[in-house]
Every structure is written in C-alpha cells, then in structure tokens.
Amino acid sequence: MLRMEHGKPMLFGKHREKGIGLDPRAAQLEVVTIGEDGVSAEDVLVHDAAREDPTLAFMLANLNQRPGFPTPIGVFRSVRQPTGDELNWQQIASVKERKGHSDLRKVLAGSDTWTIK
C-alpha cells in the first residue's frame, strides 16, 4: 500500500525502502529501491496533489493494475476548476466592467430598433 500525502515522498514497503520514481525514457512510473542501482531518496517522486496537469494523478490511479506496484491511497489530485456557471458570471461581470450597466427599457426604446412587417 502506498499512502500518498501532499508534499511527501511516495515511499512504501515494510521499512519504506521502496518508492515510486519516473522512468524518463519510457515516460512511465517505476518502482525503485533506495540503495540499489544508485537510487537515493531524492530519486523518489514527491506527491503534489495541487499539480495542475492531471497526467501523474491518472498514472497513480492506475498504479495497482501493474504487477509489483502498490495500491495507492489518499488524495490523488486536489485542484479547483471553475464551473461553467462561474465562468458565465465572470464573463457577465467583465462585460459590465467594460461597457457599464445597461437598462433593458432603454435598449428596447432606443434608436436601434426595427419593425417587422
């Protein structure tokens, strides 16, 4: 089991001697053992739940599907994205800031109207 905590190295094993590293050649996660093949604690990935890019969180979510990998538990990703409704209200506020408030009666009674015959 891999207990993921924001800001802490991704270590596991009975004595926390194993960790999750990144194999840059294959662009995938790998299990590393500290002290073997020149691997040190600095080679283990540090969990960043606030990371904007969701790629690593997705890779962690599927980690236990691979033989020899632990089952990760904890918060994989904690990134707040605005909702569609929030983006709509931001857009309305932006237009009001640029053009000012409008009055529907003035728009309808203004010079920019037409008659359909």
With bands split at pLDDT 50, 70 and 90, how would you rate the model's confidence at 47?
A: very high
Number of domains in the chain: 1
**Is there a domain that residue 13 lies in?**
yes
Q: Quick check: is 33 in a domain?
A: yes
- Residue 6, pLDDT > 90, answer yes
Asked, for residue 18, whether it belongs to a domain, the answer is: yes
Single-letter residue type at 108: L
Mean pLDDT of 3-20: 95
Q: What is the share, in percent, of the chain residues with pLDDT greater than 90? A: 71
In this structure, is residue 105 part of a structural domain? no
| pLDDT at position 100 over 90 | no
Whether residue 112 lies inside any domain: the answer is no
The answer on pLDDT for 114 being more than 90 is: no
- State the chain's mean pLDDT as an integer: 91
Give the pLDDT score at 22.
Answer: 93
Q: Two tokens at 60?
A: 């962690």
Whether the per-residue pLDDT at 115 is higher than 90: the answer is no
The whole-number pLDDT of residue 90 equals 95
Q: Which helix (H) or strand (E) holds 4?
A: strand 2-4
Q: Which residues pair with 23 in a beta bridge?
A: 28
Residue 86 in domain: no
Coil vs helix vs strand at 96: helix
Does residue 80 sit within a domain? no
Which range of residues forms the domain containing residue 38?
A: 2-74
Residue 55 lies inside a defined structural domain of this protein: yes
Residue 58 vs residues 1, 23, 103: alpha-carbon distances, Å: 17, 16, 48
